A = this chain, B = another copy of it.
Amino acid sequence: MITYSKNDWFPAIWHFHASPTAFSLFRRLFWVALYVTGVTFLELWVVDLRLKDTPTEFLSTMGILLSLLLLFRTNTAYDRFYEGRKAWGTLVNNSRNLAAYLNAVIPTERTEDRLFYTKMIANFAFSLENHLRNDIKSDGLEAAGIGELSELTHYDHVPNGVVAQLQVRTERLYREGLFTDAHLINLSTMLLVFLDVAGICERIKSTPIPFSYSFFIKVFILMYIFVMPFIIIDEYGYLTIPAVVAVSYILVGLELIGEEIQNPFGIERNNLPLNQIATNIRLNVHELMQFYIPHEEKQAAKSKFVIVT
């Protein structure tokens, strides 16, 4: 994600236009420019197609429908982005609440159990990040006891594995009598949240906007840009070229941003800083469970950089 302030105006412009999405945009604008230049010279020097007398009202009505569809596209893409952010926010809240609760319930002398929960809660966030971003299963995971990390990576679905181990340990401590009935009921509410968050993220990742809409909007933009030079050339002359390129910049740009935003779990510049959030969860959970992390790691978690992953 690009963290920006109102003052970082120029680096921001630079970063925007240096992103892969921007290259993809420029490539398309290049073709549009070629096309519109061709049409313009052909019209003005070679043949004079009749269409150029057309008033622009017709284009305007279709332009409004297209604008509304782009708004729909933008809204759905943004909703996914925000739903993804909300899911990770819920993960943060739940991890903190669970840590604060367990800190109160597990006596301080049971260091092994305290450490297990501390590590595993943070592991969930990192395993979910790995699951959503890449398949290197053990990135950022920390062993929470003897051998348990390798047990985790045996799972096809590592976040499932983390929750399975949390449930097994919780049940064991309940059978031991450390957790009472009331504790178990309270813990259950919190332990269910982890896989809910994982499921929401997977759903956002695997279900883009229905193909037909995505396709339709692209075809509509293409048609609009194709027709446009013929209609405005009579009044704009050579200015048709910058005009069509400018309009294309806006229409194609909106479409491309929508496509980038709708899966917010990538590592591109508009995506969510999953790694930063996961590190944050680790720091918070350690503090709440009274395990101290050396100062260097805390620093790394501050958002010093413009682009965070």
List A residues at the B interface (Cβ < 8 Å).
1-2, 4, 6, 12-13, 16, 21, 50-51, 53-65, 67-72, 74-76, 78, 81-82, 85-86, 89-90, 92-93, 96-97, 100-101, 103-105, 155-157, 160, 163-164, 167-168, 170-171, 174, 180-186, 188-192, 195-196, 198-200, 202-203, 207-216, 220, 223, 232, 235-237, 239, 243, 246-247, 250, 253-254, 257, 259-261, 269-270, 272, 283-284, 287-288, 298
The 8 closest A-B pairs by CB, nearest first: A93-B199, A104-B167, A61-B63, A89-B203, A104-B171, A181-B182, A186-B188, A2-B211
Contact A210 B61 (CB under 8 A): no
Partner of A253 from the list B198, B216, B239, B260 (CB cut-off 8 Å) is B216
Most buried by B among A155, A160, A259, A284: A160
A55 neighbours in B (Cβ, 8 Å)? 56-57, 235
State whether A65 touches B212 (Cβ < 8 A): no
Whether A104 pairs with B168 at a CB distance below 8 angstroms is yes
Within 8 Å CB of A207, what residues of B? 1, 82, 85, 272
Q: With A203-B89, A247-B62 known to touch, is A213 a contact of B74 (CB < 8 Å)?
A: yes
Taking a contact as CB atoms under 8 Å apart, the answer to whether A100 and B63 are in contact is no
By beta carbon, the residue of chain B nearest A243 is: B58
Instruction: Contact check, A76 vs B78: say whether CB atoms are below 8 A apart.
Output: yes
Most B-side CB within 10 Å, residue of A185, A199, A210: A210
From B1, B211, B235, contact of A53 by CB (8 A): B235
Query: In the complex the two chains form, is A74's CB within 8 Å of B72's CB?
Result: yes
Number of identical protomers: 5
Complex: A156 Cα to B157 Cα, angstroms: 33
Residue of B with least CB distance to A197:
B93
Contact among B1, B12, B181 for A215, CB-based, below 8 A:
B12
Q: List, in ascending order, chain B residues with CB within 8 A of A200's CB.
A: 89, 93
On chain B, the residues within 8 Å of A85 by CB distance are: 203, 207
Indicate whether A63 sits within 8 Å of B65 (C-beta atoms), given known contacts A101-B167, A171-B104, A211-B270.
Answer: yes
- In the bound complex, residues from chain B placing their C-beta under 8 Å from that of A1 are 207, 210-211
**Contact between B160 and A298 (Cβ–Cβ < 8 Å)?**
no
The answer to whether A192 and B60 touch across the interface, beta carbons within 8 angstroms, is: no
Nearest to A246 among chain B residues (CB) is: B223
Return 25 A-B CB contacts under 8 Å, by A number: A16-B212, A21-B212, A50-B239, A56-B57, A60-B60, A61-B63, A61-B67, A62-B247, A62-B250, A63-B64, A64-B64, A64-B67, A65-B70, A86-B203, A89-B200, A96-B163, A100-B163, A101-B188, A105-B171, A156-B287, A157-B284, A160-B284, A212-B269, A216-B250, A220-B250
